[in-house]
Structure 1
Amino acid sequence: MKKGLHPESYKFVVFKDMSNGHAFLGRSTGGSKEKIKWEDGNEYPLIKLEISNTSHPFYTGKNVLVDTAGRIDKFKKRYEKKK
């Protein structure tokens, strides 16, 4: 690995998935003004995530329902007028 290419300031932070409340401890160069007390009793910066592997449909196997019927009806209404 080339020297000086990667940051040296990795520190422990807590990542929290805001959609389901799941949190995990990891290392990052990112920081935050918010802090959270972790299971080991120490305080770490908190980085809030909108989605993680615990809530993403690809990883959970849950499909997101898409309103395809509404789209099809809208398409048919638009082009019925032209007939």
Structure 2
Amino acid sequence: MRRDIHPFYRTVVFHDTSVNEYFKVGSTIKTDREIKLDGQTFPYVTLDVSSASHPHYTGRQRSLDKEGSPARFQQRFGRFFGGEA
């Protein structure tokens, strides 16, 4: 294996600023920022969205009506494909 070609893997703190949630995850991301957490210093990265705030993971996602999209398509474009002039 060649030396000095692999990125440095370490524990990094990701901060979801929308819900003020912190995650410690192993990562190779490069950052110059640091944070002191639990008495230790870790590299620090801020996020706008994570699994703690994304609507899909939190159950707040709005689902579309299953019949709605095809019905809207037919309403808009049905006259072109329905044989009407």
Whether contact under 8 Å (1:16, 1:49) holds in the other structure is yes
> 1:38: how far off?
1.2
1:43 aligns with 2:41: yes
The aligned amino acid for 1:35 is E
After superposition, residues 1-80 of structure 1 pair within 5 angstroms as 7-39=6-38, 41-63=39-61
Partner of 2:71: none
Aligned partners of 1:62 and 1:21: how far apart in 2?
Answer: 18
Identity of paired residues, percent? 35
Residue-pair matches, total: 61
Q: What TM-score, normalized by structure 2, do the two folds share?
A: 0.61
The runs of 5 or more residues in structure 2 that have no matched partner are 63-85
Structure 1 position 36, deviation (Å): 0.6
4+ residue stretches of structure 1 with deviation over 2 A?
Answer: none
TM-score (norm. length: structure 1) = 0.63
Q: What displacement does 1:26 show?
A: 0.9
Which structure has the larger Rg over C-alpha atoms?
2
Contiguous gaps of at least 5 residues in structure 1: 65-83
Partner AA of 2:37 in structure 1: W
Taking only aligned residues, the RMSD between alpha carbons, in angstroms, comes to 2.2
Q: Separation in 2 of the partners of 1:22 and 1:7? A: 30
CA distance in 2, matches of 1:45, 1:9: 12
* Paired residue type of 1:17: D
Q: Is the 8 A contact 1:32 1:45 kept in 2?
A: yes
Cα drift, residue 11 of structure 1: 0.8
